[in-house]
Chain A
Amino acid sequence: MREIIALARKDLKLLLRDKTGAFFVFFFPLIFAVFFGVIFSGGGGGTSAIPVALIDEDSTEASRAFAEILINSGELEILKTDRATAEDLVRRGKQTAFIVLPDCFGQRRENVFYGDAAIIEIGLDPSRKAEAAMLQGLLTGHYMKGFMTMFTDPTAARDQMQTGLDQIRELTGDDREQFVDLERFLVKLDTAFAELITAEKDSAAIDSMKTQSAETGWQPIKFAVSEVTLQRDGPKNSFEVSFPQALIWAMIGCAAAFGISLVVERTHGTLVRLRVMPIKLSQILAGKGLACFGAIVVVGTMLFVIFTIFFNVQAGSILFFIMALASSAICFVGIMMLLSVLGKTEASAGGIGWAALLIMAMLGGGMIPLFVMPSWIRGFSSISPVKWAVLALEGAVWRGFTLEMMLQHCGILVGIGVILFIIGARVFKSTAH
């Protein structure tokens, strides 16, 4: 095994030092997928705003004002709708989340200093923890902005406090007793605002007030998060379509690069030296296969991270994605082995290899997504290993494959890979002399 690892490390090192090879293995797939992702999304004018459905069940002036703040924020792409529609959109992945401004939202928002805090309901898939946190942060920020507007207008703040004081003073007995301290505080605050008005809005005083508010742990808003499990029946954005294609091109690049490198070993004499080493030919081929497999897995993982972070691509199941990537890698290792025996020189192997791979890619949905192809081509495309790799990857990302479906597709890929590897290895062995 140590020898096989040494052979694989050598091949990966050679690939990294070959700028053209590295370009086709990593950068070309990335450029391809981003380019087609942008085209399919309808141009480059997209937004990074989070798509959110908004349900205003309160329908008060305050809730409508808050909705306006959210719409104008630019950080959220708001779609106003009803609760049932919103839940359905979130379930189908068309919207990231829904936000509900429930009954009493407006009233509680106005009762700044007493009573229950306003509640905002958020509904989204439980796996979207990052989005949930981000949404809560954004909503809190916009909610607080409303207060800051109020505090920066001392006259409005005094009116608000006066309303509060009036309501406290209407209470009697024990009820009144509970709010004695708050009443004293509001009276002092009222005096302070009166001085502020006199001092024509002293900004330093307002800053001081903001700090005090933060330190008291005062909570003006609460979130009620409900889970809406994502039901995946289609790509939620164009990059989920172009991402599997990027992986396919990375695998094609790896298969071509390592297939040609075996031919180079033969024409440059290094294969002779490897064969006089105390190792078997099968170990030499295993080393090449391991290098190809490793390169595909590393590049696939890097592309996955990039597309997750920058293009909002999410695997429905990480385990399924790993299965799809690994089985596709095995399939392309087999293709690599077969390519290495197609030509006797680097030029012929490269030409034949790329031609074969391009045909496979065209038929299998590596260039144009399978679902936009005519049905007769889709049937014909089953002969291309690329189709099975695309389907397995799409199954893991947005097609919502079951375990049984994943196993079926991954099994086909592994089977193709093993058969092609055996054929290629046998031909290689018979022509190695």
Chain B
Amino acid sequence: MLKLDNVHKSFGKLVAVNGVSLEIKPGEVFGLLGPNGAGKTTTVNMAVGLLEPDQGTVSINSNLSPLEPATRRKIGVAPQALALYGELTGHENLTFYGKLQGLTGKKLNERVDWALDFVQLKDRQKDRVDTYSGGMQRRLNLAVAVLQDPQLLLLDEPTVGVDPQSRNAIFDNIESLRGKGRAILYTTHYMEEAQRLCDHVGIMDQGKLLALDTVDGLITSYGGKDIIIAELESGEVKIETNDPVAELEKLQKQGKLLRFRLERSNLENVFLSLTGRQLRD
């Protein structure tokens, strides 16, 4: 669906994206995980045709360029900045963007109703957007992205500043879209989100894609061992292991185990292992 092949982008002396390659298939959520300034948004902007790569290629459906307006009809984008008109109502925002997508008449009304229903904002559709909570505005931002029923969705940090209730609603929306076979590129700097939602994750830092695999694959390859912190009769011990169950069984048989705590390896460890820094540094 979306393929980036060795794309580079610089702004003056700043190298924003340096040789990134990735591919997203229909029905897949691809997470681009990295700290702020890693180059995630620049990558998304190239994927959607807002920026032209200095080098490398971006293609949609094998051979279409996102620089062409007609190709962009197949792409839905939820930008990181809330791209909504606060003085207009939710319904007016969707109707306006729908017209720009080429929707008209009955089809436009149907899609607007569907999108409002999808993000659970039907009861607030006639209120001005500047009266919405941050979470509601994020959900409307997503509704605009899915309005024309695109095959590819680019969601740039879609949960920034969102309350837990709206965040869960957005997760449900994304999982629903994946179930319908949509390809989704999801950028975030929250590893929990990537771990929960993404089929594949690319770890990005300083413009480079450092690793790309499934969540489990990344943890296995770069996350290091799980840690058991066990309280024994003789005192507390820390045991690093690839098989915590077997290790705990062994301690239990020895009759020395009073209680224990397990620290599983995660994407934070993966990032630490790859960059030497914490993800939120």
Known: A10-B96, A278-B100, A433-B50. A273 touches B79 (CB 8 A): yes
Nearest chain B CB to A143's CB is how many angstroms away? 60
Q: Which of B66-74, B215-223, B266-274 contacts A (4 or more CB under 8 A)?
A: B66-74
Is there an interface contact between A277 and B101, defined as CB atoms closer than 8 Å?
A: yes
- Bits for A258-287, please: 1 = Cβ < 8 Å to B, else 0: 000000000011101111111110000000
Report if A17 contacts B (CB, 8 A). yes
A279 to B100, CA, bound (A): 7
Nearest chain A CB to B4's CB is how many angstroms away? 16
Which residues of chain A are within 8 angstroms of B83 by Cβ–Cβ distance?
Answer: 268-270, 272-273
Report if A7 contacts B (CB, 8 A). yes
A277 to B69, CA, bound (A): 7
A13 to B87, CA, bound (A): 9
Residue of A nearest to B70 (CB): A278
A166 to B160, CA, bound (A): 106
Which residues of chain B are within 8 angstroms of A6 by Cβ–Cβ distance?
Answer: 96, 99-100
Is there an interface contact between A17 and B70, defined as CB atoms closer than 8 Å?
A: no
Report if B51 contacts A (CB, 8 A). yes
- Bits for B78-97, please: 1 = Cβ < 8 Å to A, else 0: 01111111011000100011
Q: Inter-chain contact count A-B, CB under 8 Å?
A: 66
Which residues of chain B are within 8 angstroms of A268 by Cβ–Cβ distance?
Answer: 81-83
Report if A14 contacts B (CB, 8 A). yes
Which residues of chain A are within 8 angstroms of B99 by Cβ–Cβ distance?
Answer: 2-3, 6
- Bits for A8-35, please: 1 = Cβ < 8 Å to B, else 0: 0010011001100000000000000000
Q: Which of B48, B82, B88 meets A10, CB within 8 Å?
A: B88
Is there an interface contact between B87 and A18, defined as CB atoms closer than 8 Å?
A: yes
Which residues of chain A are within 8 angstroms of B85 by Cβ–Cβ distance?
Answer: 10, 14, 270
Interface size on A, residues (CB 8 A): 22
Is there an interface contact between B50 and A276, defined as CB atoms closer than 8 Å?
A: yes
Known: A10-B96, A14-B85. A277 touches B51 (CB 8 A): no
Q: Which of B72, B79, B92 meets A272, CB within 8 Å?
A: B79
A277 to B70, CA, bound (A): 9
Report if B198 contacts A (CB, 8 A). no
Which residues of chain B are within 8 angstroms of A433 by Cβ–Cβ distance?
Answer: 50-51
Which residues between 214 and 256 of chain B lie within 8 Å of chain A, taking CB atoms? none
Which residues of chain B are within 8 angstroms of A14 by Cβ–Cβ distance?
Answer: 85, 87-88
Is there an interface contact between A277 and B87, defined as CB atoms closer than 8 Å?
A: no
Residue of A nearest to B154 (CB): A276
Nearest chain B CB to A276's CB is how many angstroms away? 5
Report if B32 contacts A (CB, 8 A). no
A330 to B99, CA, bound (A): 26
Which residues between 124 and 144 of chain B lie within 8 Å of chain A, taking CB atoms? 144
A433 to B54, CA, bound (A): 14
Which residues of chain A are within 8 angstroms of B70 by Cβ–Cβ distance?
Answer: 278
Nearest chain B CB to A121's CB is how many angstroms away? 60
A280 to B101, CA, bound (A): 12
**20 pairs across A/B with beta carbons < 8 Å?**
A3-B99, A3-B100, A6-B100, A10-B88, A13-B92, A14-B87, A17-B88, A18-B87, A268-B82, A269-B82, A272-B83, A274-B100, A276-B48, A276-B49, A276-B79, A277-B100, A278-B72, A278-B73, A280-B69, A433-B50
Which B residues have a C-beta under 8 Å from some C-beta of A?
48-51, 69-70, 72-73, 75, 77, 79-85, 87-88, 92, 96-97, 99-102, 104, 144
In the A-B complex, the 4 residue pairs with the closest CB atoms: A269-B81, A273-B83, A6-B99, A278-B69
Given A14-B85, A269-B80, A276-B77, 17 new contacts (CB under 8 A):
A3-B99, A10-B88, A14-B87, A18-B87, A268-B81, A268-B82, A269-B82, A272-B79, A272-B81, A272-B83, A273-B77, A273-B79, A273-B83, A277-B69, A277-B97, A278-B69, A280-B69
